[in-house]
Each structure stands twice: as C-alpha cells, then as structure tokens.
Amino acid sequence: MSSILKKTASKCSHISQTYSIGRSVEGKDLLAIEFSNNPGQHDLLEPEIKLIGNMHGNEVLGRQLLIYLAQYLCSEYLLGNERIQTIINTTRIHILPSMNPDGYEIAASEGHQYNGWTSGRANAQNLDLNRNFPDLTSIFYNRRRFRHFRNNHIPIPESYWSNKVIAPETYAVMKWIRAHPFVISASLHGGELVISYPFDFSRHPQEERMYSPTPDEQIFKQLARTYADAHATMSNNDTERCGASFANKGGITNGAQWYSFAGGMSDFNYLHSNCYEITVELGCDKFPSEVELYPEWLRNKEALLSFMEFVHRGIKGIVKDEHGNGIKGATISVRGMRHDITTAEDGDYWRLLNPGVHIVTAAASGYTKVSKRFTAIPFYRLPSKVWNKYFFF
C-alpha cells in the first residue's frame, strides 16, 4: 500500500503528496495521501475533506477503494478529466487508506476465506478504535437543556486522559482532526450495506436502539443520501441486505437507531471540530476476495466523487477585523440550528446548509456581532465552477 501511494504521489507531484499522521502500536506509518492544486498548504477559502479506511483491520474493502480512488484522481487529472480537475483545484482532499495497519496484517494472514468477522478488527492493543475516542456525546446530552451551553468544539475531559487506554492510532487521528479545517469526512467500513450518520450514541444511554439526531439532522441525511443514491445498489429496494433492512430508508440510517455505542469517531468529529462525518458500510463481506475488489470500485466510484463534491454546498467566507485581517476562532451560527462552527486559522469558514433562507451571525470576543440574511440555492454541478456563496463579515 505504501509503495502504491508514494508512486501515485510521485506521478502527480504537482497535485499530490504523501505524509504520515502518526504510527501504529507496532510502529507502522499511518500514511495519508493528499490531493490539491497546492499540496502541503491550506489555501484560503478552500474546503478540506478526509476519507478513512480500514479502521477495523478486518474490514478491508474500504482500504482498497481508497487506494483505487487515489490512483483514479491522479490519472484522470493528468488525462484532463474536467470534473476531476475541478474537484482537485477547488478542494483539499486527504485520504488515509488504513487507520489500523496492525489489525489488517492479522486479518490478511488468515485471508478472505474466514470472511474477516473477528480476527484483526481491533488494533495490536486489542482496542476497538471506534470505541476509543472521547465520549463527548454524553456531555452534549447533559448540557443541552441549558440555554447557553457550548454546542461545538466541546473540550476533551481530563478523565479521558487519565482513565482510558488511548490507542496511538486514535491519538494520531485526533491530532489530525485538530490540525486541519476538515468540513466533511467518510469512514469506510464493512458488514452491512448502508450509510450511518450521527449521533451514534443514544440520547438515553440504556437504549440500545433509539433515534438520536444531531441539530444538523437534515444536513447529515442529505450527505448520507448523496453517497447512497450515487452508489450502484445501496438505495435500491431489491438489493440483498446483510441482516438489517434499510431499503425502505433509502440505504441510510441514524447510527443510534441502528445500534448505540459511545466513543465513536463520527460523534467526536461533530462535537470537537467543524467536521461532519458519515460511516459508509460497503457490504456484507468484510474481507472480499481479490476478484471482487475492482467491481466494488465501480459500484462506489460515483458515490465517492459525489460525496467529495458535497463539500461545496452551503456558504463559505472570511471573518475579518477592521484592518482586513482574518479572525481565528470566530463563531458562525445559523438561526434555528443549535450547532455552531468556528473560523479557521486565517478567519475562513465553511457552513454546510440546505437550500433556503438563513440568518447567519458571526461573533468573536472583543468584536460586535454581525448578522446577515441570504438564500442558499440548490446544488448543480458545473464544470470548473462551484455554486457556494461567499460571505464576508
């Protein structure tokens, strides 16, 4: 995998580079590949996205799909594919094919005959990485009855650091999230055919299955539907499922309504950063055979591209002071939505919104609040153009 990613980045060095976000328990690099018209740098107003595979080491299809995606982005950009060039020229894309390389090696040593249901799921410490993140969802539930509670960038409690064994892979991803202004994310898994979106932890902890929406329920549903509808079969009523039935929901589900768990990565993204993450369950077979991999890529290719384009829905802008300097950490709030985002290092921001009229307010310590009204229009993909509205305070 590492050699393929490095060769791909070398082939497209003007738009790509590889870098490590950290190391696994056994010292393997958590290698990511980036695509951008200015790799290695954040461009003002350019949104950033991430795609993560193989969080559970025995769920290998996502790992291979993201390798295919990296190769596809490189080759199609060089061939002059206008859609791919537009995506890369307007978006900074980060791809981490394997978050759990130690677990993958265990699963791969057994091969696909065992369907990958047990061995290799956890990391080398026998920790499930998707239960190892700080449980900020409980904090959110406990505080939401208060009028002025903090609904974004909830701090990690001290008890997390002192009472929990933290996997190096988890820690690396948390640092990665804090280092980049990610707007959307997808974590690729296996074992079912559905898109799951937050919250993953039930608003009543004793309930194993309970619909538990975030304040951005409609945005998350649209993000999930974007992937499911563009997938070859995920939203089809006649598609064979793996036990659960999501066809009547269009191939999407609220995570806690499916099954509830604490310490998940998607809830952490939403409550600790500006990032909206969905979980993509790619199919029943967690460890498909080699001959199945490329057909699965063809089934998922359009969904992955449509997902990446989704980041350009809504508004983006810069919050500036009287001297024209960007203000870091300003709060961007939308009337009627109890979840705010904050501006990045240079004062730029991206707020996912569905079409309609919205009142948006920018606020920062030491400055007067400013509110503006605007109408968000439906999304249409146009060559070399993104529709989102620029909004300056």
- Enzyme catalytic residues: 281
Residue type, 288: P
Paired residues of 392 in beta bridges? 318
In this structure, the number of other CB atoms found within 10 A of the CB of residue 164 comes to: 15
Structure tokens at 341: 């985002």
- Token pair 């109890």 is at which residue? 338
Give the rounded distance of the alpha carbon of 63 from its chain centre. Answer: 15
**Other Cβ atoms within 10 Å of 204 Cβ, number:** 11
Residue 268 near residue 136 (C-beta atoms within 8 A): yes
Residue 34 contacts residue 70 (beta carbons within 8 Å): no
Beta strand ranges found along 244-386 (DSSP E): 252-254, 276-283, 315-318, 331-334, 341-342, 348-351, 356-363, 370-376
Report which of 374, 334, 333 is spatially closest to residue 356, judged by C-alpha positions.
Answer: 374
Q: Which is nearest to 130 in space by CA: 100, 87, 89?
A: 100
Measured CA to CA, the distance from residue 167 to residue 51 in angstroms comes to 20
Whole-Å CA distances, 16 to 54, 93, 260, 297, 298: 22, 9, 38, 21, 23
CA 359, 347, 274, 312 dihedral sign is positive
Nearest to 174 by CA among 227, 121, 136: 136
